Amino acid sequence: MTNTGDLRDAVIDEVDRLAERMVSSLSDAIAVPSVNPRYPGQEYDKIVGAESDVSALLADLYAEAGADVTKVTAEPRRDNVCGVVAGAGGGRSLLLNGHVDVVPEGRLDRWRGNPFQAVVTDDKVVGRGATDMKGGLIAAAYAAVALRRAGVRLAGDLLLQGVVGEEVGDHEAGTTAVLEAGFTADAAIVCEPSGQAGTLPAQVPVTPGLLWFSISLEGKTAHSGLRGMTVHPTLEGDALGVNTVDKFLTVYQALRALEDEWARHNRHPLFPPGYFNLLPGVLRANPSGILVPFFLADELTVEYCVYHHPDRSNEEVIAEIESRVLAACAADPWLREHPPVFEWKLLWPPYSLPDDAPLNAVVAGAHAAAAGGVAPQRAGFMGVCDLTWMDRKGLGGLVYGPGVGFTAHAENEYVEIAQLVQSAKTYALTAIDWCGLTDGA
């Protein structure tokens, strides 16, 4: 029987030998502009299909790792890829999951080059998707390749997944589709970015809840020269005109006050104080059909993104937000008679892995073994991910992966090569410890 310690050392050595290839494969993946075709503002027919190209790239790596590779397609031209490295039997199964879609490139003038042409330096890879999250996908694939090259035969199955749709919560086409196709496991690691600059990846067992909603206000248009008479109630007031931009301040102040309350009272040990927030990220206000400021704006819609405490349900937070806004509006005569209209567009529930879940200790031990004895930091996830939808299918897990979180969705996004290598080692050692080895390994 091969010594287990020797096998673990051999796997670590194989990952180190594969480091240059990992960087090259990541560069190849970045070169595919796999922007989610359902991302707001995109031309679906123009860009659909690129996700499948990344899945095909991963399929080749999964096959190299000895996996049985299957394409799962819930929506035409948007292929998920699943690889199963079959175990000998008697061990637990492990899933390494990541998404192949990326967000749009943003402002090209702020990139130091083509966002879909990787720039490789001594310590990082720059390009759209490097952090979020092609780096994690590549690290997972090469972890499986390293296991095979080191001669490791697992007892339990190791599953690899590259899925579409995550960036817009389209899990029915992605993660949920592959789970429903039977590609599930006893535990999962979602290989999303969990590091920061100059650090190793953190171990992330909890994600916040995410809400996307809009509030629309109705006003009454009038000539711009009449503003003074409309804003002073001792004059004509709302009988003459109502500017929705002014009325929005009532809504804004109510939600800003709620945000401050959350910062004071909604604390979580794995999130920094003030993390849970209400962002008014998009604001549209104008006179109906007119984009000049010579009229009072009688239309306004504001779009909010909310991250809330993982111990609270989406339904509870929705009720709180609507209650606060409506209470504030009740004090305004116009808004009392013309209340705001809410539209809830995306509801992404939070997720938490129990502290005593066995996967926590296994991943922590694998990280430490790959990092020379240094235990991983524990943190909350800076966004949301497909763990939520896995949980709905009875599959628990955590986030661990390469990437500098604050560069996700930003120009000049990058991943540190040291995190890429560390993640591949951690995934491989986790597979050994979680899935177990055969007697002949």
Q: 56-59 contacts: CB < 8 A, separation 24 or more? A: 56/81, 57/25, 57/28, 57/29, 57/32, 58/29, 58/83, 58/100, 58/137, 58/141, 58/160, 58/162, 59/83
Cα–Cα dist 214/304, whole Å: 6
Measured between alpha carbons, how far is 422 from 242 in angstroms, rounded to an integer?
59
| Residue the block writes with tokens 């629309």 | 216
Just list the catalytic residues.
101, 166
Is 68 in a helix, a strand, or coil? strand
Beta strands, E only, 44-163: 68-75, 78-85, 94-99, 119-120, 124-126, 158-163
- Pair 326, 226: CB distance under 8 Å: no
Distance of alpha carbon 227 from alpha carbon 128, whole angstroms: 46
- Cα 435 from Cα 359, distance rounded (Å): 11
Start-to-end CA distance of the chain, whole Å, equals 6
> Using alpha carbons only, what angle is made at residue 225 by residues 222 and 226, rounded to the nearest 5 degrees?
55
Cα-based distances in Å from 192 to 93, 98, 167, 213, 403: 20, 7, 12, 25, 8
Q: Which whole-number Å values give the CA distances from 120 to 33, 103, 362, 391, in the listed order?
A: 17, 21, 32, 36
